[in-house]
Amino acid sequence: MSKRSVRELDVRGKRVLVRVDFNVPVEDGRVTDDTRIARALPTIQYLLSEGARPILISHLGRPKGEPDPEYRMDPVAERLGELLQRPVLKLDAAVGPEVEAALKEWDGEGVVLLENSRFYPGETKNDPEFARQLAALAEAYVNDAFGAAHRAHATTVGVAELLPAAAGLLMQEELDYLSGVLESPERPFVAILGGAKVSDKLGVIKSLLDVADELLIGGAMCFTFFKAQGHEVGGSLVEDDYLEEAKSLLEEAGGRLVLPVDVVVAERFEPDAAHRVVKVGEIPAGWIGLDIGPETVERFRERISRARTVFWNGPMGVFEMEAFAKGTEGVARAVAASGATSVVGGGDSVAAVRRLGLEDQMSHISTGGGASLEFVEGRELPGVAVLPDREEG
Ligand SMILES: Nc1ncnc2c1ncn2[C@@H]1O[C@H](COP(=O)(O)OP(=O)(O)O)[C@@H](O)[C@H]1O
Ligand SMILES: O=C(OP(=O)(O)O)[C@H](O)COP(=O)(O)O
Ligand SMILES: [Mg+2]
């Protein structure tokens, strides 16, 4: 079922609240990967060309429901201005009297970018009062934040219920592409899962195994399985609440769930920490697993080369640090070299692929990690479900 498009929304002369996913990596006050900003430009430019006044809102990182200088949207505003080549009026709040006053004074040139939605406790709680305050800023709502569509938050769900709402062009493109691939994926279908959002993503493995033929696991994800198998995992990231389920998953899935056989461990979580490759089962107490090892890369490469469809979310290691980037690089090169239809999703996975210059060799670069994962496993995304269906005719 397709959703009402921004093209079908009456926007001329109107203030339009646009939920974007500008949750991009930032280092030293600079955006290090602007994929998510660049991919939202078509919707913003469409709105501007139709004479609308776009008011953009996004979350950035995971601040705890209050203002946190580390997660201000200023670096994003700067990069957005460079890409859009139009003025970006960045406000230091998302709702409230100062925002209302600034919008009244706004000359209507370019776009407004509101402050981080997660500076407000009402965002992640989908608080009706916060949603009402947001809705008061605009006359229509567009959701272009595919990467956050799996979150039932005030900016993705609450406000969509209060204003005339539609899907943005990026949202539509993502949904169209992913549903096309999933309709009848060519097999073998190999899924690769890694990254750091372990508690979020462990829960989807079971249903992912219903869709994919094989599931390769790297990143921080694998250590929960190693611990469930009784191995020492040192100081690696582990989800202790998931150990029982990990055990039963391993039994059920048999050889279809493929874990690393070796890992790179480090003494500390630092770029220049002492590190070495060890077999799984030989992780020294106190050391931290930060990448998959070379033998694992080789095994993953073999399976990826046989695949006809690949879905990848989550880096295989802490690729931001050179010492722990080889696993992610090896997998990225294997996916790029395979003849499979390849989908890579996730803010960080895509940043890793772009850093290697391999983005043109993937069939689809998705701006959503957790979101594409939940879509692939067949779940309805709350931020999509809430949008009105397209009227036939
Ligand atoms: N073994 C590990 N331990 C800690 N962090 C890891 C490990 N492997 C990968 N990561 C981190 O995972 C992060 C990305 O995770 P995530 O947000 O889930 O992926 P994506 O954005 O692609 O969906 C990266 O910043 C990377 O450093
Ligand atoms: O970066 C995101 O997801 P991803 O890391 O899975 O790609 C989205 O912006 C969602 O962020 P969240 O997982 O803090 O809700
Ligand atoms: Mg991420």
pLDDT tens figures, 89-114? 999 999 999 999 999 999 889 999 99
What residue ranges do the domains of the chain occupy?
6-169, 177-377
Please give the distance of CA 221 from its chain centroid, rounded to a whole number: 16
Residue 391 confidence (pLDDT) above 90: no
Ligand 2 pocket test, pick from 19, 21, 23 with the greatest ligand atom count within 8 Å of Cβ, gives: 23
Question: Distance from the CA of 339 to the center of ligand 2, in angstroms?
Answer: 28
Question: Distance from the CA of 371 to the center of ligand 3, in angstroms?
Answer: 11
Given this model, what pLDDT does residue 202 score?
Answer: 87
Which whole number is the average pLDDT over 55-72? 98
pLDDT-derived band at 393, boundaries 50, 70, 90: low
Which whole number is the average pLDDT over 180-191? 94
Which whole number is the average pLDDT over 304-333? 98
Cite the beta strand spans of the chain per DSSP E. Answer: 15-19, 26-27, 30-31, 53-57, 88-90, 111-113, 140-143, 165-167, 189-193, 214-217, 257-258, 262-266, 275-279, 288-292, 309-313, 341-345, 364-366
- Let me know if 370 is a catalytic residue: yes
* Separation of alpha carbons 18 and 143, rounded Å: 6
Q: The complex's ipTM?
A: 0.99
What share of the chain has pLDDT > 70, as a percent? 99
Given this model, what pLDDT does residue 199 score?
Answer: 86
The closest-lying atom of ligand 2 relative to the alpha carbon of residue 367 is 7
Residue 270 confidence (pLDDT) above 70: yes
120: tokens are 């407000």
Mean pLDDT of the chain: 96
What share of the chain has pLDDT > 90, as a percent? 94
The closest-lying atom of ligand 1 relative to the alpha carbon of residue 289 is 1
Given this model, what pLDDT does residue 152 score?
Answer: 98
303: tokens are 């399976």
Given this model, what pLDDT does residue 392 score?
Answer: 74
CATH number of 6-169: 3.40.50.1260
- Let me know if 347 is a catalytic residue: yes
pLDDT tens figures, 13-42? 999 999 999 999 999 999 999 999 999 999
Query: Which one is catalytic: 347, 368, 369, 383?
Result: 347
Q: Which CATH superfamily is domain 177-377 in?
A: Phosphoglycerate kinase, N-terminal domain (3.40.50.1260)
User: For ligand 2, is residue 63 a contact (CB within 6 Å)?
Assistant: no
Closest CA to 20 of 68, 99, 79, 67: 79
CA-nearest residue, atom 1 of ligand 2:
347
pLDDT tens figures, 110-135? 999 999 999 999 999 999 999 999 99
